[in-house]
């Protein structure tokens, strides 16, 4: 049949049809009537284009928190009847729709994240009747982690072949766990439970109804971030630990999947290789341990792992300490904190590296630390929720307690000279250290910072700061709190930062000037999202050497 049939008549310039999805039997068609949002533009000036000439303006659409998003209205069309139906399911106004047809072509299913990330649904629409229902409907008083779970390889919704069951990841019981959802009834049963975190679903064996997954925090005598491998049946029985050693694990399966080679390490433990049975995780034999005697003889030192109690007096806060190769405990060492507290992950290294971590800093006479405070991911939901509408917190109460606990038994650790640096969200937090905790942090270098969450991408910021935009955004804004600045601050920004608009740093500079505050600043021509390249790296080091070590930088402007 080569006839041309008009199926809709309500499209227009402001509401046009997009994204048609055919049913498997080609008898039905889903299409969305789309109304464009009102996301504004961001502008950047390229002051020094290659080849010279005039400066160039770069402009692009960039949705900010509170902007009106593009709205998708669901429509389905029966081709035999040439009929159009608009199911009463509401519009999708956050994140483009992800559709899935049932095998028989009758049901359409899609995920819907409500604006503000406090409600998540998997909705099913019967295209024969227009009746819809929620297969999954989860709500929370804080946030449901959705947007960045996808980017970290942890989709919330994992459809099993046949489309009759879903493996669903949720933090609703206080930790991230797997649930088995019956699509027809909507019944949701826990597969895993307990005070640990599912990090990723590694493999699903539908025939034997088993799930292989990575988890952390189940071993109470180990660092709660160390990843182990487990197997469990769909009904929650048969829970089996496939790895055991005190380290962060990776595995390789034998071709017949009867055995695994388990390789584990820590920052202070070189790799250990073991052969284990898949059936029960039993150790068959140790294959190899890494010999680092020559490395140690060369003067190499591993980072030190340290944990202390956080603000609640109960929760362990974990970090690492990196010392100079010629470390002398009779001396006093200033401390540098490498800062990043984005709530979408955890950041302290857990695996072995034979490289000298932070050696460019430690060999200048600094001790460098990195800590995961409350508000970051991969611990309990309560641990994660600290960031809710409160990104200025950045785990600082926990970080400061961690520093003090370490200094208590290490007299060489000078907490009267603590500096901090970071980029992007770490740029926001490192500046925030001098605004909100100047009694502890004295010097900061902030690169490409998001200094006001109202000026950065909506998807990331609304996830943690909430919607609608309210006073919580101002409370966490470095710009609105610029008058609080104490200590020494260096700002670095690239004029062509296409991640965090450079105007964020420039407006902070304006607020600091209006507050009559002293600070240093580098704007990098043609620079993108980062630390300013080699020049920025050199200036960062000179800044800390001057203000924490008391060493004036050399004169770089001598003739050659």
- For every residue of 266-299, DSSP letters joined together read ETTEEEEEEEEETTT--EEEEEEE---HHHHHTT
Chain centroid, CA 198 distance in Å:
16
Average the pLDDT over 76-91 and give the result.
88
Q: Give the model's confidence band at 357: pLDDT under 50 very low, under 70 low, under 90 confident, else very high.
A: confident
Radius of gyration of the chain (CA): 27
- Residue 103 makes CB contacts below 8 A (sequence gap 6+) with 24, 162, 163
Average the pLDDT over 146-171 and give the result.
82
Which run of H or of E encompasses 534?
helix 533-544
* pLDDT for the residue 151: 57
- pLDDT at residue 228 greater than cutoff 70: yes
In 97-236, alpha helices (H): 147-151
Residues of the chain with CATH 3.40.50.1820: 295-549
Chain centroid, CA 222 distance in Å:
23
Residue 455 has phi, psi (to 5 degrees) of -110, 10
* 202-221 pLDDT per residue, tens: 999 999 999 999 999 999 99
User: What's the whole-number average pLDDT of the chain?
Assistant: 94
- pLDDT at residue 137 greater than cutoff 90: yes
Q: Give the model's confidence band at 162: pLDDT under 50 very low, under 70 low, under 90 confident, else very high.
A: confident
Distance CA 356, CA 372 (A): 21
**Alpha carbon distances (Å) from 443 to 422, 486, 489, 546, 549:** 12, 9, 6, 10, 11
Q: Indicate the burial class of 270 (C-beta count within 10 angstroms; 0-12, 13-18, 19 or more).
A: middle
Superfamily of domain 295-549: Alpha/Beta hydrolase fold, catalytic domain (3.40.50.1820)
Residue 169 has phi, psi (to 5 degrees) of -100, 130
Distance CA 306, CA 387 (A): 23
Q: What is the DSSP letter of 420?
A: E
- pLDDT at residue 150 greater than cutoff 90: no
| Cβ count within 10 A of residue 66 | 16
Distance CA 543, CA 339 (A): 17
Q: Which of 140-154, 294-308, 463-477 has the lowest mean pLDDT?
A: 140-154
- pLDDT at residue 83 greater than cutoff 90: no
* 251-302 pLDDT per residue, tens: 999 999 899 999 999 999 999 999 999 999 999 999 999 999 999 998 888 9
- Is residue 505 within 8 A of residue 496, CB to CB? The reply is no
For strands 177-182 and 188-190, give the pairing. Answer: antiparallel
Distance CA 47, CA 57 (A): 9
- pLDDT at residue 159 greater than cutoff 90: yes
In 370-477, alpha helices (H): 381-385, 396-408, 425-436, 458-465, 471-475
* pTM for the structure as a whole: 0.95
* pLDDT for the residue 6: 86
Q: Comparing C-alpha atoms, which of 171, 243, 238 is closest to residue 209?
A: 238
**Alpha carbon distances (Å) from 27 to 1, 5, 78, 119, 163:** 13, 14, 6, 32, 20
Average the pLDDT over 134-153 and give the result.
83
**Alpha carbon distances (Å) from 220 to 96, 216, 224, 225, 534:** 41, 10, 7, 11, 43
Average the pLDDT over 431-450 and give the result.
99
Q: What 3-state DSSP class applies to 59? A: strand
Distance CA 55, CA 25 (A): 55
Q: Comparing C-alpha atoms, which of 245, 445, 216 is closest to residue 318?
A: 216
* pLDDT for the residue 299: 86
- Residue 427 makes CB contacts below 8 A (sequence gap 6+) with 446, 447, 448, 449, 450, 451, 500, 505
* pLDDT for the residue 96: 72
Chain centroid, CA 47 distance in Å:
32
Which run of H or of E encompasses 533?
helix 533-544
404: left (phi over 0), alpha (psi -120 to 50) or beta: alpha
Distance CA 168, CA 136 (A): 9
**Alpha carbon distances (Å) from 400 to 225, 344, 348, 378, 418:** 20, 22, 16, 21, 10
Q: Indicate the burial class of 559 (C-beta count within 10 angstroms; 0-12, 13-18, 19 or more).
A: exposed
* pLDDT for the residue 183: 97
Chain centroid, CA 412 distance in Å:
34
Cα dihedral: 387, 391, 392, 394 (round 10) = 60
**Alpha carbon distances (Å) from 446 to 110, 344, 423, 449, 549:** 41, 20, 6, 6, 19
Q: Give the model's confidence band at 1: pLDDT under 50 very low, under 70 low, under 90 confident, else very high.
A: low
- Is residue 277 within 8 A of residue 264, CB to CB? The reply is no
Q: Indicate the burial class of 446 (C-beta count within 10 angstroms; 0-12, 13-18, 19 or more).
A: buried
- Residue 407 makes CB contacts below 8 A (sequence gap 6+) with 413, 414, 415
């Amino acid at each position: 049949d080569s006839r041309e049939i008009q199926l809709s008549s309500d499209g227009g310039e402001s509401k046009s049809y997009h994204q048609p999805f055919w049913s498997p039997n080609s008898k039905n068609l889903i299409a969305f009537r789309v109304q464009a949002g009102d996301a504004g533009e961001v502008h950047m000036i390229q002051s020094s284009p290659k080849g010279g000439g005039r400066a160039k303006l770069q402009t692009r659409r960039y949705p900010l928190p509170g902007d009106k998003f593009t709205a998708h209205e669901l429509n389905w069309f029966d081709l035999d009847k040439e009929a159009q139906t608009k199911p009463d399911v509401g519009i999708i106004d956050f994140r483009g729709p992800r559709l899935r047809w049932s095998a028989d072509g009758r049901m359409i299913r899609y995920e819907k994240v409500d604006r503000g990330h406090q409600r998540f649904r998997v909705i099913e629409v019967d295209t024969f009747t227009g009746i819809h229902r929620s297969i999954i409907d989860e709500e929370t008083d804080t946030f449901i982690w959705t947007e960045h779970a996808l980017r970290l390889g942890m989709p919330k919704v994992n459809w099993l072949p046949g489309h009759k069951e879903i493996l669903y990841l949720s933090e609703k019981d206080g930790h991230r766990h797997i649930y088995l959802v019956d699509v027809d009834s909507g019944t949701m049963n826990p597969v895993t439970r307990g005070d640990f975190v599912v990090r990723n679903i590694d493999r699903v064996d539908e025939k034997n109804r088993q799930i292989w997954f990575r988890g952390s925090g189940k071993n109470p005598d180990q660092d709660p971030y160390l990843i182990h491998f487990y197997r469990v049946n769909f009904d929650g029985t048969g829970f089996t630990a496939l790895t055991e050693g005190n380290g962060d694990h990776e595995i390789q399966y034998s071709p017949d999947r009867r055995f695994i080679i388990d390789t584990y390490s820590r920052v202070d433990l070189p790799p250990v290789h073991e052969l284990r049975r898949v059936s029960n995780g039993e150790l068959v034999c140790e294959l190899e341990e890494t010999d680092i005697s020559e490395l140690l003889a060369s003067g190499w030192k591993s980072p030190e792992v340290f944990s202390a109690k956080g603000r609640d007096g109960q929760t362990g806060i974990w970090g690492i300490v990196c010392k100079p190769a010629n470390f002398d405990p009779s001396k006093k060492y200033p401390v540098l904190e490498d800062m990043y507290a984005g709530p979408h992950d955890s950041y302290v290294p857990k695996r072995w590296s034979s490289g000298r971590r932070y050696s460019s800093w430690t060999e200048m006479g600094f001790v460098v630390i990195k800590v995961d405070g409350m508000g970051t991911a991969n611990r309990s939901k309560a641990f994660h929720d600290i960031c809710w509408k409160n990104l200025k917190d950045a785990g600082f109460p926990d970080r400061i307690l961690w520093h003090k606990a370490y200094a208590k038994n290490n007299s060489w650790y000078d907490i009267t000279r603590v500096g901090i640096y970071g980029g992007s969200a770490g740029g926001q937090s490192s500046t925030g250290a001098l605004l909100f905790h100047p009694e502890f942090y004295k010097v900061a270098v902030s690169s490409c910072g998001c200094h006001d969450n109202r000026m950065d991408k909506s998807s990331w910021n609304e996830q943690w700061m909430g919607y609608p935009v309210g006073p919580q955004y101002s409370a966490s804004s470095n710009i609105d709190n610029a008058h609080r600045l104490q200590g020494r601050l260096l700002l670095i920004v690239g004029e062509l930062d296409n991640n965090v608009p450079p105007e964020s740093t420039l407006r902070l500079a304006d607020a600091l000037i209006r507050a009559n505050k002293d600070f240093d600043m580098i704007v990098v021509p043609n620079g993108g999202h980062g630390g300013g390249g080699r020049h920025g790296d050199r200036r960062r080091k000179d800044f800390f050497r001057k203000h924490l070590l008391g060493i004036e930088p050399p004169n770089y402007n001598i003739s050659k």
